[in-house]
Amino acid sequence: MSTTEEKEQAIAEDEQAAEVTPVKPGTWRFLIPIAAFAVGFVSLLFVGWVIFPPLLYSEKEQPVDFSHKIHQEAVDEGCESCHFFREDGSFSGIPGLENCAECHEEPMGEHREEAKFIKEYVEPGKEIPWYVYARQPQCVFFSHAAHVKMGELECATCHGPVGDSDHTRPYQYNRLTKYSRDIWGWNIAGYKLFGQKNTWDRMKMDDCAKCHEEMTGEKGACFVCHK
């Protein structure tokens, strides 16, 4: 076959093919708004989930990397060795330096974090400025006695597995309100999503009220939580 014949045949085949699958102009155009919407939606998600949180939240390391795990073995009375109720029913919260110094006047081991802790806090007698992950705004009244003694709730129900942790996690707070991120939760949208099914994932007003309603049958008046 000569090359012209080949070309003619090829053209004929092309035309045939074109006839079999005709491309009607405009049939795909309906995809444009859908694609535009998808791109817009994905970029919004990106801004909302990836860019916005680091802008909104600032992060600080705890002053000492304290291991609950190590100390669970070191103390006699478990959590109550450090977090106990005083005689008047008030909760001791995070233990003061005095409690730590009972054991750490001198180094107990070779741990680098312990050496740092003794040098920076025990020797100069300086209290450790811990960040409290669960810290609520000032207007909120919260009593541990009501929940732990009367309500018989476990610490982990509201705090998660802090008591078993080997390291302190960074403390994150909202740059605008200065509230701890643990209050508003790890999800910007404010909804509990997949995997966020625990009580301790978030402790906003509605979350407190939800448990109250479940356990006592009523949401409670404003003045219950706001004195």
Of 54 and 107, the one with the shorter C-beta distance to ligand HEC is: 107
Q: Which of 158, 172, 181, 185 binds ligand HEC (CB under 6 A)?
A: 158
Told to check if 82 binds ligand HEC by CB under 6 A, we report yes
Residue 41: CB minimum distance to ligand HEC, A: 28
Nearest to 208 by CA among 148, 145, 162, 140: 140
Told to check if 31 binds ligand HEC by CB under 6 A, we report no
Told to check if 188 binds ligand HEC by CB under 6 A, we report no
- Alpha-carbon span 50 to 42, nearest angstrom: 11
Nearest to 129 by CA among 115, 117, 141, 138: 117
Output the CA–CA distances (angstroms, integers) from residue 5 to 12, 15, 17, 84, in the order listed: 10, 15, 18, 98
- Alpha-carbon span 200 to 209, nearest angstrom: 14
Q: Which of 172, 173, 181, 183 binds ligand HEC (CB under 6 A)?
A: 183
- Alpha-carbon span 201 to 213, nearest angstrom: 18
Told to check if 94 binds ligand HEC by CB under 6 A, we report yes
- Alpha-carbon span 165 to 62, nearest angstrom: 14
Nearest to 215 by CA among 199, 197, 196: 199
CB–CB of 130/113 below 8 Å? Answer: no
| Binding window for ligand HEC (CB under 6 A); candidates: 6-14, 47-55, 188-196, 202-210 | 202-210
Residues 106-135 that bind ligand HEC (CB under 6 A): 108-111, 113-114, 117, 130, 132-135
| Binding window for ligand HEC (CB under 6 A); candidates: 3-11, 38-46, 47-55, 143-151 | 143-151
Residue 143: CB minimum distance to ligand HEC, A: 5
Told to check if 172 binds ligand HEC by CB under 6 A, we report no
Told to check if 187 binds ligand HEC by CB under 6 A, we report no
Could you identify the residue written with the tokens 């997949």? Answer: 194
Residue 34: CB minimum distance to ligand HEC, A: 38
Q: Which of 53, 56, 157, 186 binds ligand HEC (CB under 6 A)?
A: 157
Contacts with ligand HEC by CB under 6 A: the residue count is 73
